[in-house]
Amino acid sequence: MPQHVVVIGAVALGPKAACRLKRLDPDSQVTMIDQDDLISYGGCGIPYFISGDVGDPGQLQTTSFHMLRDKRFFRDAKDIEVKTKCRALAIDRKNKQVLVQSLDTFEKDAIPYDKLVIATGSRPKRLEIPGIDLDGVFTVSNMHAAIAIKKKISSGKVGKVLIIGGGFTGLEMAEAFTDMWGIETTVVEITNQILPGIVGENMAKMAQHHMEENQVTFHLSERVVQLEGDNGVTRAITDKRTIETDLVIVAIGTEPNSELARKAGLDISSRGAIVVNKKLQTSDPEIYAGGDVVEVTNLITGKPGYYPLGSMANRQGRIIGTNLAGGNAEFPGAVGSFVVKLFDISVAATGLSVDVARKENYDAISAMIAQFDRAHFFPEKDMMYLELVVERGTERVLGVQGFGNKGDGVVGRINAVAAILSYRPTVAEISNLELAYSPPFSSAMDILNALGNTAENTLAQRSRVVDADEFETLWEQRENDEVVFLDCRGWGNAATFVERYPDRWKNLPQDELRDRVDEIPHDKRVILICNTGVRSYEAQVMLNQQGIRNTSNLQGGMVWVKKRGIDI
Amino acid sequence: MPQHVVVIGAVALGPKAACRLKRLDPDSQVTMIDQDDLISYGGCGIPYFISGDVGDPGQLQTTSFHMLRDKRFFRDAKDIEVKTKCRALAIDRKNKQVLVQSLDTFEKDAIPYDKLVIATGSRPKRLEIPGIDLDGVFTVSNMHAAIAIKKKISSGKVGKVLIIGGGFTGLEMAEAFTDMWGIETTVVEITNQILPGIVGENMAKMAQHHMEENQVTFHLSERVVQLEGDNGVTRAITDKRTIETDLVIVAIGTEPNSELARKAGLDISSRGAIVVNKKLQTSDPEIYAGGDVVEVTNLITGKPGYYPLGSMANRQGRIIGTNLAGGNAEFPGAVGSFVVKLFDISVAATGLSVDVARKENYDAISAMIAQFDRAHFFPEKDMMYLELVVERGTERVLGVQGFGNKGDGVVGRINAVAAILSYRPTVAEISNLELAYSPPFSSAMDILNALGNTAENTLAQRSRVVDADEFETLWEQRENDEVVFLDCRGWGNAATFVERYPDRWKNLPQDELRDRVDEIPHDKRVILICNTGVRSYEAQVMLNQQGIRNTSNLQGGMVWVKKRGIDI
């Protein structure tokens, strides 16, 4: 008798596991059930469907060769039976069957299984505030919600949108509304930065500034406490203001759909996710689970982590398929890689941000750098911004975050680090990472190598730094007269600042510093400034040698300050 | 007494080592000598100077903040003394001094050193044929040669250029002449493919086809035996034809300038490169060497390798600088990462190509894949082509090569593999590489993960493949009537071929195959074909199940065949 495998959930992991199993073991019988009628779609494409980049919802449900992944497709091309509008009510582990109910006829049935896959995914977290169930309040939960949102904005009656949550879904939605529909969009985020837990505060502010330049409004450290309206939502009350709005998107994160597993007595974590081993088996070895409903090991911290991403679901689905067919594949865990496009820029990250690292009790420092993404003499180039998070002492790399143009340059650098992160690299390995070199693609010393070098100098306390945030605070407090801002660039760059702030901003080009060291005040802290932090580091070394040690180098330099939108 | 360090050579590694040393140990005294007067330039930028992308040779010699890296710069900004037009005649290790001669005054001198750095780089290999010294025959050796070439083409008298050598320098030069100057350019390559030793033959033909579409002419497996002309070169005689030309570029590789080291009794390898340890010390521990003049360990094979690249020189220079200052930095070796832009496309590689792997006695297979570089539903996307080289048995990844648009997508994938290659990853690690995912940057199953999956299926002999080359041969021999070409795509894709070759080209869409299996001839080998190799693999699995096993799946599919320029 060929085995019968039942798969609960037919969006990402479910179909992948089912198809992989059928390729390895074509004789096995596979039944996939889903409570929806739209299945096997690319949910991560929803913001691009809303924006209009993707014209038709069907495009998210077709293969790259334009076949609609519907019931018929799975039957004919994959030999997999799919039951849609079929809800799993319970897993009867003793009798090895799934109790299901048709959402069309409401008839109940029991489907026996030899092995079971739970691919029930996640749902948007619900915001428990008054008015949350008003018309016009949406989550980006599935294709039906996406179609409803697009229908509403297509009606032309949406002039203002409020997005609750500044994570990547919220930001992608903000871009979609603003860029393609010209809708006045406001994002309210409860923490003090956008992309919390993903990038550090400096880079978050950089991304926020870019989105503000693209007409998105942000309110940080602010909480929406109530939604109001008669025929649908018309305003939101926060702890600081009232915001008029025609539509609200709640994007405050997702949580695993683990109720079925919990009721069946499978191990569930404190986060509410299904606990699986490396083979992606639940506490019942006949039952596999993966995707947004499970947690896996964070390979940096060794603790459980939750990564609701379509890419994880696909890779885990293949591993489950292999194991269902008698294979021995393992999913070791994740480092947490991430990328988002925001208008003309991209933000990418892998591993831990500096604040997350510190929360995890690592004695972490971060090094920041700005450098061209290719040879500086190559005509087409853009400034790129990277931050490396390193543990003091061990010099272990914990994470890296990047900001740059919307091409593949930033994500390429992040992916190179992501690839080695589970090998616990030291900062020296970043300095010496062998990236392919040619002037149209990188500098001879690529920004990633330079980032490693910078981190190493900071760890060795050769470079004593301030970041753009600290610079901003020092600048705001400049009337205290405790600090001198010393511009180490040529007069061409420094002139504007010196002329505007003659008492605060001094100019001593780095290549003249040796001969003019007497001009530097010995009684004040000196903030050394150049475009990117390279010449100011050279200046710091030189001043050290002259016995002037109360200096700090502005890491990332003035290009970082400017990109942050700091107004001086 | 502060130490005195002498650096011979002031282009890439020399300045890097000197500057790093001075930052770590500002009291040390550094003298850098070079026989040229142009120093510290980005030699890799020469093709872009020739093309006009870089307008002025000075741009290759300036920092990213527009300071010319000349003697004055090194003195004022770096506290390093530079002697230009100063040739090192000999190293007197016993007395620890370098004997030098001024190329201006011809006066000789001896410069004492505590430690010495040999950064003498490489030179273009000389082609020993009659006529090689004619006017108009150039190598891309240094800035002087570059300026001379540009002067000649700017004169408007160059209508035809012959390039000897189809390595990356030759190809970059071919692009420069053709793209920006409209010069009729021919490349003669002695081996049977361009980019020999870097990518496999299939991908090389893809790149060649692209360059041919951009009006570059290629003659492979051909040897230039003589250059002729009266007032400068006017034609080249090969073993197959005569080629009229106004200018000849010889780009047949480089060789290390190791004579000084050899005369000084330092260990030199059979390749003629200086032998160094991981600290980049020569056989005399007081003498360091790096860059184009040394060989380092190939981290795939464990054997010595030669990597004359500006990126290596920069990274090695920093390591030498650290060690000169009493540090303990190491350069473990290289995997051989590479990228080149050729008109609108890029080719990148790391590790071993399949032919090099086999020459090194690995039992290597290669898996090829074509897939979109981002989500297939995202509007802006391009097809990308990757080849993974894997050792049978161990399933160890030996290398990866890629072809795609000229953005950073290909090199990003290659760099992610380059980063882990020295950790000896297996193919499962490529399948599960955690690349950052979002539809504008990748597919949920990124092409790199899919490449790992494909290689794994091939290793497991689940997928029995032919590549585009083998397909071409089978197609050319189609009248032998031994093979059926079975198109598994829909009629829309297959129609043209079926109508043109009704006796040879059959169409059975993959999703109809199960019901129409009787239509497949049992007495012939069946070549299964689709766009990219995905559906044809599904078809192969299904036919296996039906007992039809004499099938081969066209890996990379028809998009690869088409990109190769195979005319069917």
Q: What ipTM goes with this model?
A: 0.96
Per-residue pLDDT at A56: 86
Residue A229, CA atoms < 13 Å, CB-side half-sphere: 20
Long-range CB contact pairs, A500-503, < 8 A, 24+: none
Q: Determine whether the interchain pair B418/A431 forms a contact, defined as Cβ–Cβ distance below 8 Å.
A: no
Q: Determine whether the interchain pair B311/A375 forms a contact, defined as Cβ–Cβ distance below 8 Å.
A: no
Clarify whether residues A191 and A232 are in a common domain: yes
Q: Do the beta carbons of residue A351 and residue A364 sit within 8 Å?
A: no
Compare CB distances from A350 to B407, B436, B438 and report the shortest one's residue: B436
Nearest CA in chain B to A52: B379
Geometric angle at alpha carbon A425, from A421 and A427, rounded to 5°: 120
Q: Is the pLDDT of residue A142 over 90?
A: no
* CA torsion angle B274 B275 B280 B282 (round to 10): -80
Clarify whether residues A199 and A240 are in a common domain: yes
Q: What is the DSSP letter of A298?
A: B
Strand partners for A185: A161, A216
Q: How far is CA A164 from CA A106, A126, A224, in A?
A: 36, 11, 7
Per-residue pLDDT at A180: 81
Strands (E), A229-307: 235-238, 242-244, 247-250, 254-256, 274-275, 287-289, 294-297, 304-305
Stretch B256-274: mean pLDDT: 98
Which of A324, A351, A367 terminates a domain? The answer is A324
Structure confidence at residue B319 as a pLDDT band (50, 70, 90): very high
Burial zone of A93 (CB within 10 Å; 0-12 exposed, 13-18 middle, 19+ buried): middle
Clarify whether residues A104 and A192 are in a common domain: no
Q: List, for residues A65-74, the tens digit of each pLDDT value.
A: 788 899 999 9
Which of B301, B324, B347 terminates a domain? The answer is B324
Instruction: Compute the count of residue pairs across chains A and B with CB atoms less than 8 Å apart.
Output: 298
Within 8 A by CB and 6+ apart from A294, the residues are A256, A273, A274, A275, A276, A280, A316
Per-residue pLDDT at B568: 86
Per-residue pLDDT at B452: 98
Q: Is residue A186 part of a domain?
A: yes
Q: The domain containing residue B525 runs over which residues? A: 465-563
Stretch B98-120: mean pLDDT: 98
Question: Sheet containing A551-554: which strands, arranged edge to edge?
Answer: A465-466, A551-554, A525-529, A483-487, A505-507
What's the CATH number where B431 sits? 3.50.50.60
Geometric angle at alpha carbon A254, from A250 and A256, rounded to 5°: 145
Structure confidence at residue A439 as a pLDDT band (50, 70, 90): very high
Give the C-alpha separation, A60 to B560, whole Å.
25
Structurally, chain B folds into a number of domains equal to: 4
Q: Determine whether the interchain pair A411/B412 forms a contact, defined as Cβ–Cβ distance below 8 Å.
A: yes
At B398, the amino acid letter reads: L
Clarify whether residues B148 and B213 are in a common domain: yes
Q: Do the beta carbons of residue B295 and residue B271 sit within 8 Å?
A: yes
Clarify whether residues B474 and B543 are in a common domain: yes
Structure confidence at residue A298 as a pLDDT band (50, 70, 90): very high
Question: A44 vs chain B: nearest CA distance in angstroms?
Answer: 7
Among B329, B323, B330, B289, CA closest to B25? B323
Q: Is residue A60 part of a domain?
A: yes
Q: Is the pLDDT of residue B160 over 90?
A: yes
Q: List, for residues B9-39, the tens digit of each pLDDT value.
A: 999 999 999 999 999 999 999 999 999 998 9
- Residue A529 has φ and ψ, to the nearest 5°, of -130, 135
Per-residue pLDDT at B522: 85
Q: Determine whether the interchain pair B418/A406 forms a contact, defined as Cβ–Cβ distance below 8 Å.
A: no
Is beta strand A525-529 parallel, antiparallel or unpaired with respect to A551-554? parallel
Strands (E), B478-550: 483-487, 505-507, 525-529
Q: List, for residues A386-416, the tens digit of each pLDDT value.
A: 999 999 999 999 999 999 999 999 999 999 9
Q: Is the pLDDT of residue B311 over 90?
A: yes
CB < 8 Å to B382, chain A:
none
Give the C-alpha separation, B93 to B284, whole Å.
9
Clarify whether residues B398 and B364 are in a common domain: yes
Geometric angle at alpha carbon A21, from A16 and A25, rounded to 5°: 155
Per-residue pLDDT at A369: 97
At B558, the amino acid letter reads: M
By annotation, the residues of B acting in catalysis are 44
Q: Is residue B347 part of a domain?
A: yes
At B107, the amino acid letter reads: E
Stretch B423-444: mean pLDDT: 97
Strand partners for A507: A487
Clarify whether residues B343 and B449 are in a common domain: yes
Q: Is the pLDDT of residue B530 over 90?
A: yes
Q: List, for residues B463-489, the tens digit of each pLDDT value.
A: 999 999 999 999 999 999 999 999 999
Compare CB distances from A510 to B77, B309, B538 and report the shortest one's residue: B77
CB < 8 Å to A449, chain B:
314-315
Compare CB distances from A314 to B12, B168, B444 and report the shortest one's residue: B444
CB < 8 Å to B67, chain A:
490, 511
Q: Is residue A128 part of a domain?
A: no
Within 8 A by CB and 6+ apart from A183, the residues are A153, A158, A159, A160, A161, A177
Q: List, for residues A10-63, the tens digit of each pLDDT value.
A: 999 999 999 999 999 999 999 999 999 989 888 899 999 999 889 888 888 888
Stretch B364-390: mean pLDDT: 96
Q: Is residue B568 part of a domain?
A: no
Per-residue pLDDT at B9: 97
Structure confidence at residue A141 as a pLDDT band (50, 70, 90): confident
Compare CB distances from A341 to B418, B432, B440 and report the shortest one's residue: B440
CB < 8 Å to B433, chain A:
415, 418-419
Give the C-alpha separation, A223 to A226, whole Å.
9
Clarify whether residues B184 and B223 are in a common domain: yes
CB < 8 Å to A140, chain B:
none
Give the C-alpha separation, A182 to A160, whole Å.
9
Nearest CA in chain B to A428: B329
Please name the residue that has the structure tokens 């010099």. Answer: A395
Question: A229 vs chain B: nearest CA distance in angstroms?
Answer: 35
Compare CB distances from A339 to B438, B532, B544 and report the shortest one's residue: B438
What's the CATH number where B479 sits? 3.40.250.10
Q: How far is CA A11 from CA A37, A39, A173, in A?
A: 11, 5, 21
Q: Determine whether the interchain pair B311/A437 forms a contact, defined as Cβ–Cβ distance below 8 Å.
A: yes
Q: Is the pLDDT of residue A453 over 90?
A: yes
Q: Determine whether the interchain pair A530/B53 forms a contact, defined as Cβ–Cβ distance below 8 Å.
A: no
Question: A218 vs chain B: nearest CA distance in angstroms?
Answer: 23
Clarify whether residues A522 and A478 are in a common domain: yes
Per-residue pLDDT at B29: 98
Structure confidence at residue A179 as a pLDDT band (50, 70, 90): confident
Q: Do the beta carbons of residue A21 and residue A30 sit within 8 Å?
A: yes
CB < 8 Å to A74, chain B:
none
Among A366, A351, A339, CA closest to A301? A351
Q: Is residue B370 part of a domain?
A: yes
Is beta strand A81-83 parallel, antiparallel or unpaired with respect to A29-33? parallel
Stretch A210-215: mean pLDDT: 98
Q: Is residue B261 part of a domain?
A: yes
Among A312, A364, A315, CA closest to A336? A312
Clarify whether residues B268 and B317 are in a common domain: yes
Q: Determine whether the interchain pair B45/A439 forms a contact, defined as Cβ–Cβ distance below 8 Å.
A: yes
Clarify whether residues B283 and B313 are in a common domain: yes
Q: Determine whether the interchain pair A416/B412 forms a contact, defined as Cβ–Cβ distance below 8 Å.
A: yes
Q: Is residue B532 part of a domain?
A: yes
Nearest CA in chain A to B440: A341
Residue count (chain B): 568
Q: How far is CA B300 from CA B333, B340, B358, B390, in A?
A: 9, 22, 13, 12
Compare CB distances from B437 to A329, A335, A339 and report the shortest one's residue: A339
CB < 8 Å to B329, chain A:
428
Of chain B, the percentage scoring pLDDT greater than 70 comes to: 100
Q: Determine whether the interchain pair A44/B437 forms a contact, defined as Cβ–Cβ distance below 8 Å.
A: yes
Which of A459, A483, A512 terminates a domain? The answer is A459
Clarify whether residues B405 and B436 are in a common domain: yes
